[in-house]
Structure 1
Amino acid sequence: MKRVLTLLAAVLFSLPVAAAELGDDGLHKTDWMRDTFKDLREDLEDANAEGKRLMVMIEQRGCIYCTKMHEEVFPRPEIADFIRENFFVVQLNLHGDLEVIDFDGESLSEKQAARKWGLLFTPSILFLPEEVAEDQTAAQAAVAMMPGAFGPGTTLDLLTWVQEKRYALDTEEDFQRYHARRIAEREAEKSQ
């Protein structure tokens, strides 16, 4: 009986929670996204005040890869909870017209910001440090960028790598080596 309950608990905890709903702009909306004035300097201050990292997600209506992330990856409890606890998430629309104020003070539309930052694909996620120089853009300041849709393991590893500031450590372990190590560790845990 104990084995059945353990198996049932494992299955239940591995199931994703409800996927995000679509907003009027056609983008997926989650409870961990923030509705801000999209002044990135203010968003960074708010993230820092909460002890979180600023994460800027660029998505677009009809994006099959955004849908994949919102239906298969982000709803997983371990990922949704990690984002909720550690990140201040601001969503931008690749083709949107809402005003964004970049870290360098330039005011532009969402689509102009995406072009300025050289973002062509969605989803693209920029991870920002706690401090950004006044003359830097979001793309220049980003400590990492997630260009596209990834599986749950890669996504959680990148979120963890950023949250733990592993990009700033003086080691030879860049993200790819960190991710490879984490894959090997997970495989070793499964075989035990």
Structure 2
Amino acid sequence: MMIRTLPTLSLLALLITASAACAQEPEAPGVPEWIPFEEALVDGKEAGKMVLVDIWSPRCGWCRKMQEEVYTRDDLLAYVNEHFITGRINIDVRDDTLSYLGYNLSSGELSAGFGATGTPTTIFLSPEGAYITRLPGFHDYDSYFPVLRFIGSESFRDMSFQDFLEQEGLEMKEPGTGG
């Protein structure tokens, strides 16, 4: 009896370990520390920092590409860490409950409320959690970093994005083209 139970227990332990490994989203080295959405709201308010919310899906290739090619850039990562608290919402989750501004919604419902119709979508919130804007889709380093600087510097409060680009001597590149 003990001899039959040992292989069964070993197999069960292996399956549990494999299932836990698959459930976690692998992150590229040197990416932002993505924390749960509600925790990011609390941390943003306490730190007086804006909240950058990554709306993603584990099956999204463009989300992985952004993690691996954009968020790993040292200067961009340093800027994000200095100016933002970073949170994540998995758009596919429908059976959870997130609290936002007095509403209790699933991750999918909250994502839709932010206007996210696909992934990746980046949402920017004030330190108090108020919606600023969203940036849908994949954006390479050259098209994404100016947006981060525009929001992170709070320039959006008193000028257009085009005026910001001109002031900074930048030229906006088409999203995803790198040039």
Same-fold call, TM cutoff 0.5: yes
Could you list the runs of 5+ residues in structure 1 that have no partner in the other structure? 1-21, 133-140, 185-192
Q: Distance in 1 between matches of 2:137 and 2:26?
A: 15
1:31 Cα offset (Å)? 5.5
The answer (yes or no) to whether the contact 1:25–1:61 under 8 Å persists in 2 is: no
Could you tell me how far 1:27 is from its partner in structure 2? 6.6
Indicate if the aligned counterparts of 2:63 and 2:120 stay in contact, CA closer than 8 A.
yes
TM-score (norm 2): 0.71
> Aligned in 2, Cα 1:34/1:107: closer, same or farther, shift over 3 Å?
same
Match of 1:77 in 2: 74
User: Aligned residue for 2:16?
Assistant: none
Q: Quick check: 2:150–2:161 contact (8 Å CA) kept in 1?
A: yes
2:155 aligned with 1:166:
yes
1:54-93 to structure 2, matched below 5 A, reads 54-93=51-90
Instruction: Write the letter of the residue equivalent to 2:52.
Output: M
Paired position in structure 2 for 1:101: 99
Larger Rg: 2
> Using a 3 Å threshold, how does the CA distance of structure 1 residues 116 and 48 change in structure 2: closer, same or farther?
closer
What does residue 35 of structure 1 align with?
Answer: 35
Distance in 1 between residues matched to 2:33 and 2:165, nearest whole Å: 26
- Measured in 2, the distance between the counterparts of 1:182 and 1:110 equals 38
Shift of 1:167: 1.0
Q: Report how many residues are paired.
A: 149
**Would you say 1:118 and 2:104 are equivalent positions?**
no
Report if aligned partners of 2:40, 2:86 keep a CA contact under 8 Å in 1. Answer: no
> CA 1:89–1:130 in structure 2 vs 1: closer, same or farther (change >3 Å)?
same
User: Which amino acid letter does the alignment assign opposite residue 100 of structure 1?
Assistant: L
Partner of 1:148: 137
| Cross-structure match for 2:23 | 24
Q: Distance between the aligned counterparts of 1:46 and 1:152, measured in 2?
A: 26
